Structure 1
């Protein structure tokens, strides 16, 4: 039942998946940390990014990994414009309005995808899709291994930007006290839009790492965003380190759950963790008490 030859590959597969989960959750926690709202359009935005990678491969022959700069830049611009042009104007400064606006954006995105692509599930083929790499007793799919490394690199770059750059310092200032930041000359509306853009840029990177071994349809983002919400709560709302660690933990829990409970019940461990955190440590692992 606990044969290491079975458990070790499952844990390694969970870590590779968890790194991508963490990247998705980092975008979500950045938006929450600055705007102090949950972006209900996060899953639908990931779905659009996956379709973007799919179209670049199908029509222009661009490999998903080579599409990384295009998707990161494109999703950043989309996020910036969505926040500056739509969310900021429609919310009138009220957090409850922002929640409704992002929910509306999610519905519009999913229905546009249904109109354009129907409900068909689509995949792409690459020369390395079925390739594997042996690590000890485990054989790990090459796309998952690349996704693991790539997600960690992008996460490290994001954390460097937040902690070591002027933009990062401005983001942290606005997240702590927006009125004080405004008095210091920081353009708060611009920082809001930049944060939203960077959050969606993380999804562009995640889509490039996911699609060689995954699929896309108009509802694909829903499952990912539920896991991302759990990671954000588990790690602590607004905690970047918590999101990174939480993603890896949740990936391993999901993999082991699928191993011992079957694929249909594999995610039950995730939601048990979610309930347990809400009951016993609602601020999460690294979150501050209210």
Structure 2
């Protein structure tokens, strides 16, 4: 087996794993605070992709400059979803919450099909077509940028949650909703902000993959299943674990493509998932490690 091929695949897997981790961080943040399994995370990511795509097509805006725009748009949408729909499900059985978020996902995806058709779209930026050389290895520019942005956002989120008053309120709410209410924290407001942040992170992930991935109403579905696997691997509610879990899934998927043919490469990812469930049910890094 060519060692260069293995190393190149591992690098590609790490870069892609950053995107999986970013989607999963928003997912695990929402679960950690509200205990809601958000199946709509992939469709929110898809909206972020369309914000970036149309900003590029209609305004000529560089995809990376549209990151604030997509993040703000999805933050507002996320707050609206939480305030008018999901807030009513807080405390309801988990399967009810799951069905509601699945319903939101289907509504969003079908609305996108009606508005923009199911046809996949891509954008082309010549300056991003060339790869960077790291010795004998090649770094895909868009994936490299996506990975760096993911690391920066993870560090900023960690700082926000641990060093700011609002971040500490979010962490307190994730530990005890009743206790947070007693000390004066407005739990509903924290719910709105948390879901908004989770949606904004999905939007940023969508923006980051638009330069190298097709944009379509079902594009988010390609990522949401892996995001759930990543969340379980890292530990429910543990966003640092979600990032590391994303990297593990990215590498396992890439190396699986080297050693196995076709769709068999997915076997490595699911085998890793099953092993963690069997021997470490709370995830590799435990739960609620924000």
Alignment of 1:9-158 (within 5 A): 9-89=8-88, 91=89, 93-96=91-94, 97-158=96-157
TM-score, normalization: structure 1?
0.95
Question: Is contact 2:13–2:252 with CA below 8 Å preserved after alignment?
Answer: yes
- For residues 195-223 of structure 1, the C-alpha deviation after alignment (integer angstroms, 9 at most, x for no partner) is 10000110111112111111111111112
**Distance in 2 (alpha carbons) for counterparts of 1:267 and 1:143:** 24
Aligned match of 2:182: 183
Question: Is contact 1:19–1:151 with CA below 8 Å preserved after alignment?
Answer: yes
* Distance change (3 Å), C-alpha of 1:48 and 1:95: farther
**Distance in 2 (alpha carbons) for counterparts of 1:4 and 1:92:** 51
TM-score, normalization: structure 2?
0.95
Aligned match of 1:219: 218
Question: Is contact 1:28–1:42 with CA below 8 Å preserved after alignment?
Answer: yes
* Distance change (3 Å), C-alpha of 1:217 and 1:286: same
- For residues 125-180 of structure 1, the C-alpha deviation after alignment (integer angstroms, 9 at most, x for no partner) is 11223210001211121111111111111111111111111111101111111011
Q: CA deviation at 1:252?
A: 0.6
**Distance in 2 (alpha carbons) for counterparts of 1:178 and 1:95:** 17
* Distance change (3 Å), C-alpha of 1:166 and 1:153: same
Aligned match of 1:236: 235
Find runs of 4+ consecutive structure 1 residues off by over 6 angstroms: none
**Partner secondary structure for residue 282 of structure 2:** coil
- Which runs of 5 or more structure 2 residues have no equivalent in the other structure? none
- For residues 3-60 of structure 1, the C-alpha deviation after alignment (integer angstroms, 9 at most, x for no partner) is 2211111111111111111111100000000011200111111111111111111111
**Distance in 1 (alpha carbons) for counterparts of 2:257 and 2:129:** 21
**Partner secondary structure for residue 139 of structure 2:** strand
Q: CA deviation at 1:110?
A: 0.8
Question: Is contact 2:177–2:187 with CA below 8 Å preserved after alignment?
Answer: yes
Question: Is contact 1:254–1:270 with CA below 8 Å preserved after alignment?
Answer: yes
**Partner secondary structure for residue 65 of structure 1:** helix
**Partner secondary structure for residue 285 of structure 2:** coil
**Distance in 2 (alpha carbons) for counterparts of 1:155 and 1:258:** 28
**Distance in 2 (alpha carbons) for counterparts of 1:165 and 1:95:** 32
- For residues 81-111 of structure 1, the C-alpha deviation after alignment (integer angstroms, 9 at most, x for no partner) is 110122213x264143322221111110011
* Distance change (3 Å), C-alpha of 1:101 and 1:288: closer
**Total equivalences in the alignment:** 287
Q: Calculate the aligned-residue CA RMSD, in Å.
A: 1.4
Question: Is contact 1:65–1:208 with CA below 8 Å preserved after alignment?
Answer: yes
**Partner secondary structure for residue 133 of structure 1:** strand
- Which runs of 5 or more structure 1 residues have no equivalent in the other structure? none
